Amino acid sequence: VAAYDASLQITGDNVVFDAAKGVAPVRLTGKVRDRYDLATKLALVTTDRQSGFDRHLASVPFKGQVLNLTSAYWFELTKDIIPNHLLSVPHPNVSIVKKCTPFPIEFVVRSYMTGSTSTSIWKNYQDGVRKYCGHDLPEGMKKNEKLAKTILTPTTKEEEHDRPISEAEIMSEGWMKQEDFDVCAKAALTVFAKGQEIAAERGLILVDTKYEFGKDENGVINLIDEVNTPDSSRYWLANSYKERIAAGKEPENIDKEFLRLWFRDNCDPYKDEVIPDAPKDLVVELSRRYVKLYETITGKEFEFQKGAEGAVAEAIQKSV
């Protein structure tokens, strides 16, 4: 499909600042986002890089734009629940944000017994874990079954590998203060409930997600990073869920899980030094899914941008 052409990927490598036109900040590269320090604020560039298993898997056209604009949509809808770091979106791939000091904990919220990574509730349950992040889990649960209630299952943000952690351990190990944790925990559950409500109106189930929080220069806790995006969240199609579960099938999804599964089936993505390239048709399908999910979640039409990477630097300079 021409629209999803791989040559249109935004890698972040071609963002060039013309010093004559203003600031020329240094690029700090993350897994999917590049950061540029603008003194009092930050420019975040969401690229088309696709990560999984703590490594780079592929580059997916338009994915960065989908993630950035999906987050912007949710930041706007949830700003009455908790303040957030977003100041402006001067380009489909760029967010100008407040500088915040992030907490070293990811607030993962789950409504279903599922997941494929080593930290997920399903993998832990399969391994016999019945107390997960401080929550007691009943015997006899099946994969993809709805949990009795939505639960908060935090993970640490560590260099080597994130690990699931309970509220009690977060306190005893000194990761966060109780009053800060309480604000973040309440906000995470409330933002998730709002996400589930809107997803349901659009025929989707918001299954699980992760949120990050930080304090701004005034000590106010802000929702940061990304919100309810196809990268930070799992979405299933609601209308076929019950029937597929009853038939012992996986729920229909529009997320990146199928790419993760391909890598898991074709290599050991945690251990192999070199992993195979993802097939082109899978990457194109993933691009199509990201765009479809954006349109389904937000109810807006996706606008395909050509030559978008060339306009990133100027958009950042203009927002200073």
**Predicted pLDDT at 7:** 63
Span between the terminal Cα atoms of the chain, in Å: 37
Residue corresponding to tokens 């279903």? 112
Could you give the 3-state DSSP secondary structure of residue 193?
A: helix
197: Cβ contacts below 8 Å, ≥ 6 apart:
none
Q: How far apart are CA 116 and CA 137, in angstroms?
A: 18
Low-confidence ranges of the chain (pLDDT < 50): 1
Q: What is the dihedral of CA 72, 157, 236, 261, to 10 degrees?
A: 120
At residue 22, φ and ψ (nearest 5 deg) are: 140, -150
In order of their start, the domains of the chain are 1-320 (3.30.470.20)
**Predicted pLDDT at 147:** 98
Asked whether 33 and 65 are in contact (CB, 8 A), the reply is no
Q: What is the pTM of this model?
A: 0.91
Write out pLDDT tens, residues 36-77: 999 999 999 999 998 888 888 989 999 999 999 999 999 999
DSSP state of 35: E
